Amino acid sequence: MALSRARIAETALALVDRDGLEALSMRKLGADLGVEGMAIYRYFPNKAALLAGIVEILLAELVIPPPSDVPWQRVFRELSHAYRALLLRHPHAIPLLATLPLSDPATARAAGAVMAQLRAAGFDAPSALKTLATITSYVVGVAQWEVGTAPFRAERNGEPFPLPPDADPYLVELAPQLAEDDCEETFEFGLDVIVRGLETRS
Amino acid sequence: MALSRARIAETALALVDRDGLEALSMRKLGADLGVEGMAIYRYFPNKAALLAGIVEILLAELVIPPPSDVPWQRVFRELSHAYRALLLRHPHAIPLLATLPLSDPATARAAGAVMAQLRAAGFDAPSALKTLATITSYVVGVAQWEVGTAPFRAERNGEPFPLPPDADPYLVELAPQLAEDDCEETFEFGLDVIVRGLETRS
DNA sequence: ACCGTTAGTTTACACCGTAAACCCGTCAGG
DNA sequence: CCTGACGGGTTTACGGTGTAAACTAACGGT
């Protein structure tokens, strides 16, 4: 099959999803494409551009509906959930989305669409921006927290997490709580906190 | 000067602060230490351990006072500010702190200390954990947002951010707002939102 | 039939993490 | 004092990385 920007970026994303971000190298990607690594440089000037291409197709998965007259709380919740779902669908790519330079066109478009939503819901421009910062920060942060604590929740059929014998006493206290923590619920907890906080904004 | 774990980790952090995380390589670090790169392996088994060492001294900068009877809102705000200040003091190291595996001893200790604070303030264990997740997520997320949008705020003596001529229309609308955004204020905005949300928790 | 463009390959270079062998100064025991 | 072990640092080496440059093979238009 012929090469193309789209096919390269998609196989790259598949590779990252499968083997992690570290495993993405030009040569390995070339191998997955059935081609020599250097061929990719005909379509992307360097690896950074390739990563930007991945971000682009990731953000394309995120459909942001045009402004309507549904209450902003609802919109806010739905967007947060959609973004969260996107991140959890591609956990290995989270670092890519965590540091999104807004100068990237794909990012700018997504941010702009959300801003439009918030503006339509009655936020003035500065608060809309602050709200956007708050929510993306929260969603990304929580996704990172979640993958960071994932080992404690891994299926272990009843056995507790195998802590090293010299583990910090704080950690042995923390571990069981982490193990039984329902991430979805924790996310909802923080989301409620933020929405309630926004409702009472002055 | 003789080598030691502490000196190596500190020079590594200095190197990261100066030249960025990407620039940290065993050989360059060796050069900064006046020694051959391989010498570091006498003190750290591999690069991951070295990074963990950096995290350790970073978190050591964060002094978490023992529980007292000051209102939790105050404690919460102070801890958030302290963590934020730490992140901004070492912007290049943020990715290191963004994905903190709690199994790391230094991380566990810090998390445990904050949990103790929250517990003392009357949170039950599950909500304390959820609150910890919420706040660290928010603080880390906002720091990442901040460095990501930093170019728009860079000192440009009056000139607006030089957007490429084919920039996304959303971006050209966004850019001036970003430029005049006061990050400290935005942070405070979100922090208020979260504190108010926590106050009205059921 | 030729020529230019395009798509992909080959080769090369500097750098990376790290395993293994080595080299040398210090110190302990005979 | 000699010797031998050892710890800290060096050298060399290997496989992997991103990417610049030169090369090659196919194809479309004149």
Chain D bases near protein CB atoms (7 A cut-off) = 8-12, 16-22
> Given B127, B141, B173, which is nearest A112 (Cβ)?
B173
Rounded distance, CA A158 to CA A2, Å? 50
Per-residue confidence of chain B (202 residues) as pLDDT tens digits? 789 999 999 999 999 999 999 999 999 999 999 999 999 999 999 999 999 999 999 999 999 988 888 899 998 999 999 999 999 999 999 999 998 878 788 898 899 899 988 888 889 888 888 889 888 989 998 998 888 888 888 877 777 888 777 777 777 878 888 888 889 998 999 999 899 888 886 5
CA–C1' gap, A37 and C12, in angstroms: 15
Instruction: Tell me the percentage of chain B whose pLDDT exceeds 90.
Output: 51
User: In chain B, what residues touch A140 (CB-CB under 8 Å)?
Assistant: 137, 141, 144
For residue B39, give the nucleotide whose C1' atom is nearest its CA: D9
**Residue among B129, B177, B186 minimizing CB distance to A125:** B177
Homologous superfamily, domain B63-199:
Tetracycline Repressor, domain 2 (1.10.357.10)
**Do residues A144 and B94 touch, judged by C-beta distance below 8 A?**
no
pLDDT at res. B53: 97
Q: For domain A5-58, say whether CATH 1.10.10.60 is its number.
A: yes
Domain extents for chain A? 5-58, 63-199
Contact B101 A189 (CB under 8 A): no
**pLDDT reported for residue B173:** 77
Is the Cβ of A142 closer than 8 Å to some Cβ of chain B?
yes
A100 touches chain B (CB under 8 A): yes
Backbone angles phi, psi at A168, to 5 degrees: -60, 135
Tokens linked to B86: 């730490």
pLDDT mean by block of 10 residues, chain A; 202 residues: 94 98 98 96 97 97 89 92 97 92 85 90 87 89 88 81 74 82 90 89 59
Coil, helix or strand at residue B195: helix
| Residue-wise pLDDT tens digits, B126-182 | 888 888 988 898 999 899 888 888 888 887 777 788 877 777 777 787 888 888 888
Q: Closest CA to C18 C1' — which residue?
A: B46
The 10 Å CB-count burial string (b at 16+, else e) for B165-200 is eebbebbeebbeebeebebeebbebbbbbbbbbbee
CA→C1' distance for B8 and D6 (Å): 23
